[in-house]
Amino acid sequence: MAEDEIIVLKAVFCDEGEFELLSNTASQHSVATFRITVKCDQHTDGDCLTAKDAASNLETGENNKDPVTIDITFTLPSSYPETMPDISLATNSLTREACQKLRTDLLNFAGTLEAEPMVLMMIDWMKDHWKDYAQQMVKSCDGNITSRESEEIIVAVLHIDHMRSKVKYTKTLVKWAEDLQLGGRLMFYNHLILVLLEGLTTEVKEFIVRLRTQRVDVDSAGRSCKERMMRVLVEQPHPSSCKRYTSFEVVDCTSVSALEAVFKTSELSNVYRTELVPEFKLLH
């Protein structure tokens, strides 16, 4: 199946330098490694310049709309497509941070696909979404290229109705939080499941989008499914004077006081009392 897909990819990416087969020797761990140079159209609006072109525009006063190129290297494992490919990205048009995040999100997308040839679908997703990661670099008023370090820190509390596959679901949430550099806690108390998130606005919102759109659990028939009943209970600026969690961990609370202590540690007792206690009777 992998060999057939490679033939198709060679036909699609047939221009000089677009496709390069790096290894095609089947082994215990991988089947093939190849690199594809993907050409992505520039955004026509001025609010989405890449770091490279923003700097160029400052010097020339022109709007560079040449296609951005992203080299993506795929390594297909021997169990592909049941197991998704490993990938690496290289481009001068995104910051290192943005490139790493794009890779993480692209792999998350691949994880939602059925077990069938997926390289073209992954490339199409990247071409559709790369501009979102270019927005991590913006032109400041003094002409420098800066990141989103000044972005607002917020706190969010989510309620998850249930988990059929607790191990899988929990592992996914922990990985997302780590990828997005979010602090917080996943809390279990009796049948109550809460997620506390602390971090940059865009990263918290991205976590919520993933939870609503990606397959994280299984249905009654054991098939992968999306989260349909998650509720956002709190989403507000984080008090600047408050302590914040620097990691995301799972906590099994044995009492109401243990659950409340999670919020006290991050100096969010007011959130607990005003937003959560009135919402859930078992906290009274």
**Position 143 confidence tier, pLDDT thresholds 50, 70, 90:** very low
**Position 144 confidence tier, pLDDT thresholds 50, 70, 90:** very low
CB neighbour list of residue 20: distance below 8 Å, 6 or more residues apart: 34, 35, 36
Q: By C-alpha distance, which of 62, 78, 80 is closest to 29?
A: 78
How many Å is the Cα radius of gyration of the chain?
Answer: 22
Measured CA to CA in angstroms, residue 113 lies from 35, 80, 89, 121 at distances of 21, 12, 20, 9
- Residue 46: predicted pLDDT: 37
Q: What is the pLDDT of residues 209-237, one digit of tens each?
A: 999 989 999 999 999 999 989 999 999 99
- Residue 50: predicted pLDDT: 40
Percent residues over pLDDT 90 in the chain: 40
Secondary structure, 3-state, the chain: CHHHHHHHHHHHCCCCCCEEEEECCCCCCEEEEEEEEEEECCCCCCCCCCHHHHHHHHHHCCCCCCCEEEEEEEEEECCCCCCCCEEEEECCCCCHHHHHHHHHHHHHHHCCCCCCCCHHHHHHHHHHHHHHHHCCCEECCCCCEECCCCCCEEEEEEECCCCCCHHHHHHHHHHHHHHCCCEEEEEEECCEEEEEEEEEHHHHHHHHHHHHHCEEEECCCCCEEECCCCEEEEEEECCCCCCCCCCEEEEECCCHHHHHHHHHHCCCHHHHHHHHCCCCHHHC
- CA–CA dist 66, 76 (Å, integer): 31
Q: What is the pLDDT of residues 29-46, one digit of tens each?
A: 567 888 899 988 765 443
- Residue 17: predicted pLDDT: 84
Task: Identify the structural domains of the chain with CATH numbers, from first to last.
Answer: 2-146 (3.10.110.10), 153-283 (3.30.70.100)
- Residue 55: predicted pLDDT: 44
CB atoms within 10 A of CB 81: 19
